[in-house]
Structure 1
Amino acid sequence: MAILRRSYGYSKVDKEDPEEIIHRRAQFLIYKALYQADTRRKPSFLRIRLCRLKVKIGRRLKKLRKSALVSISAERIGVYKQLIHQLKTWRRLFNRDGGTIATLSHPLFT
């Protein structure tokens, strides 16, 4: 059998300088970072407009929620005041000493 020779086989290389290895690795990392920066998708005009619109809508919703909470609490306070006023009126009307009820139960003309 014939012995096959590989013309494209690797030949043994002398040991490289460590500084040369570091330099080559740094060049590769720089190239990789630049390539990633170039291939990264740049923000489109439409995407920027959509983002701004979302922020605008979010602010409006937040303002609406705050105003709703303020108006609801103001209504609660108003209802509470009316309730207290009604209770005071009923207390005056039906006080314990019977002042108002007693005067109403007497005949008007005596």
Structure 2
Amino acid sequence: MTLAPEAPTETSHLQVRTDPDGKPLAIRHDGRIWVVDPGTESQHWSGRDAGWDTRRAPAAGSAGPGSTEHWRVQARLCSTSALRTFTLRREPLSPGWFLADISDGEETTEK
């Protein structure tokens, strides 16, 4: 299953547990807890969104004023379940997380 990035799911049922540096450790989605696989590499990036009011303070732990924070992580329901790739985002001034994309299996990136 893949959600279109143009219309990300903004669900109140999405909760993200992070480490002190803001890296996602676990995701609660659709009543299930997905644990980020420590054996996989997470991707993190930020992008500027001109539509946000940069005069106000960003949410705690976010990338900075006007920056949308993104994480792509691979997570499992249990140690023997298949990996799913979650792309998460956090908007400036928003305390919550949004699901931008979810897909089955490992994502590969070419360098």
**Normalising TM by the smaller chain, what interval?**
under 0.3
Larger radius of gyration: 1
TM-score (normalised: structure 2): 0.12
Name whichever structure is richer in strand by fraction. 2
